[in-house]
Structure 1
Amino acid sequence: MSRFRFGFFTLAMAILFATTLPRLVMASEKGYTLAVVPNLPAVTLHKNWTPIADYLSRELGVKVELKLYDKITTFLEETRAGNADFMYAAPNMFYLAYQKQKYIPLVRGSNMLRGQVFVRKDSPYTKVKDLEGQTIAIVGPKNVCSVITRHALLSGNNIDFNVSFSGSTINVAKSVLVGKAAAGATLDSSMMEDAPEMQKEFRVIMQTEKIPPHPFSAHPRIPKKVRDAVTTALLNLDKSDQGRKMLEAVKLVKPVRADYKRDYSFFANVDFERLDKQQPK
């Protein structure tokens, strides 16, 4: 190679390096955002998720910023618009964001979710068909327990019923207990965790199929090597007592790799538009 050609090549590489390096540095300094579904008070979510965000920041070598929201509707708007790099959401909310942005599920917990419909033990209602025209108490319109139980009632049993939004699992149980609602719909795990002493007062008349729990997912714009690093980092937390405590706090117990088709394609069968139209009476 002549001195002239070698000099030209060196100059070209120097220019390329000089123009590319700042973009790489800017990308790394910008970091990533982690949006968490507002299923608990913000102060609780901040306490539970900050150790995870800090841990991922160290593992990736860039800042992972925790993003919290005061309303589920805001969270849904942000994630459906693709404004979050990483996201932790209920399965149904993940699916809504997947529809718009094709978020990639990375990791989920191993404890499966199952909805249930229950009545008072002394209730005359013994099967789902008996609830035709009656009021069923649920936590809220967007909660996963609401979506999967109403989907089962409307598609599998094809009954017409009224809904009332109670705001929490324990309020659903109280509504049924005092007769404000003929039945209640919750996750079976939520009832065990939030109102264990009240379970003996009820009789379960329907259970949904089990579905995988909330995924930790990434927007497809995130490079695969970064997605893989996050997946490995979260799975590695399960190898130590301290790590398992961090995972338990954010309900990623016994984490496994997540897969859209296997875990969440079920929601393609859910008529979300019909559920949204079902207003409390």
Structure 2
Amino acid sequence: MTALMAFTVPAWAQGQPPAPTVLTVSVVPQFPAADIARTWGPILTQLSERVGVQFVLRQARDIPGFEAEVLAGTPDVAYLNPFHQLRAWDAQGYVPLLRDAELLTGIVVVRQDSPIRAARELDGHTLAFPAPNAFGASLLTRAQLVEVERIRITPVYARTHTNAYRHTLAGLSTATGGLRATLAREPAEVQAGLRVLMETPGAAPHPLSVHPRVPDALRTRLQQAWLALAQQPELQASFKAIPMPQPVLADQARDYEPLRRLRLERYAQ
């Protein structure tokens, strides 16, 4: 009887906060909200079953709104870009748990019929980006253009990757900063109308991170369940769409601290 009573002492009585029963999940809005819900819904449903906690999707209207919520510590779990991760670590202590194995690169695309054949020819032109702090699509590409190509551009922000690609297709900008993964999700006619002009060097991609209020044991269960679900045939299309088709464990010091050397804050807002 004594052993049983010791085993069932509640966490709060041991000086620990009780484990949460619901965790909010916020996803950087690279894609339209309906697409995010369609991609993440099946994963979160099965994740809830495996972990024993209800994961509820919380969607921000745009990337700046998402960033503000993360910096305020609102979501328990966040899928965010590497620059957001640095800021979220500094502001709230968000811990990266998982990321994809493939490195992230930014791309610059132009219309298929554009006469521009080299990045330096974009000097003085207007380029569309999803948001100022979109990592691969904006920060990496702008740093590459300014620091390496030594050109000046006028950025405009279209709120999402989808909108940014259409800016260039419609002739509202000469080029768009994006990602191969987001371009691959566009309809065939959009992809056919654009041409990749430049690609940046690679960096660790978007992590799935947790606020430090999430208990360590729950973090471990989340990691284990996520890795297991990625192997389920019926969910592989969803993981590819995130995109995180090959998840691996993430580490702040190894994967994201080196990005500080790029001084990306010079291009952020």
TM-score, normalised to structure 1's length?
0.77
Question: Relative to structure 1, is the Cα distance of residues 34 and 132 closer, same or farther in structure 2, using a 3 angstrom cutoff?
Answer: same
Question: Relative to structure 1, is the Cα distance of residues 266 and 151 closer, same or farther in structure 2, using a 3 angstrom cutoff?
Answer: farther
| 1:80 Cα deviation from its structure 2 partner | 1.3
Partner of 1:231: 223
Partner of 2:149: 157
CA distance in 1, matches of 2:196, 2:30: 25
Partner of 1:6: none
Output aligned runs, 1:113-128, within 5 Å: 113-120=104-111, 123-128=114-119
Output aligned runs, 1:63-74, within 5 Å: 63-74=54-65
CA distance in 1, matches of 2:121, 2:47: 50
Output aligned runs, 1:1-281, within 5 Å: 17=9, 20-21=12-13, 27-28=18-19, 30-120=21-111, 123-144=114-135, 145-169=137-161, 171-177=163-169, 179-194=171-186, 196-197=188-189, 203-276=195-268
Give unpaired runs (5+ residues) of structure 1.
1-9
| 1:149 Cα deviation from its structure 2 partner | 0.5
| 1:173 Cα deviation from its structure 2 partner | 4.4
CA distance in 1, matches of 2:20, 2:166: 50
Instruction: Say if 1:105 and 1:218, in contact at 8 Å, map to a contact too.
Output: yes
Larger relative helix fraction: 1
Structural RMSD (CA): 3.3
Q: How many residues align?
A: 264
CA distance in 2, matches of 1:169, 1:63: 29
Give unpaired runs (5+ residues) of structure 2.
none
SS at 1:32 equivalent: strand
Instruction: Say if 1:137 and 1:184, in contact at 8 Å, map to a contact too.
Output: yes
SS at 1:184 equivalent: strand
Q: Which has the larger radius of gyration?
A: 1
Q: Deviations over 1:127-156 (max 9, x none)?
A: 333322222222332323112101211222
Instruction: Say if 2:94 and 2:212, in contact at 8 Å, map to a contact too.
Output: yes
CA distance in 2, matches of 1:178, 1:215: 33
TM-score, normalised to structure 2's length?
0.80
AA matched with 2:220: D
Instruction: Say if 1:28 and 1:62, in contact at 8 Å, map to a contact too.
Output: no
Question: Relative to structure 1, is the Cα distance of residues 71 and 171 closer, same or farther in structure 2, using a 3 angstrom cutoff?
Answer: closer
AA matched with 1:262: R
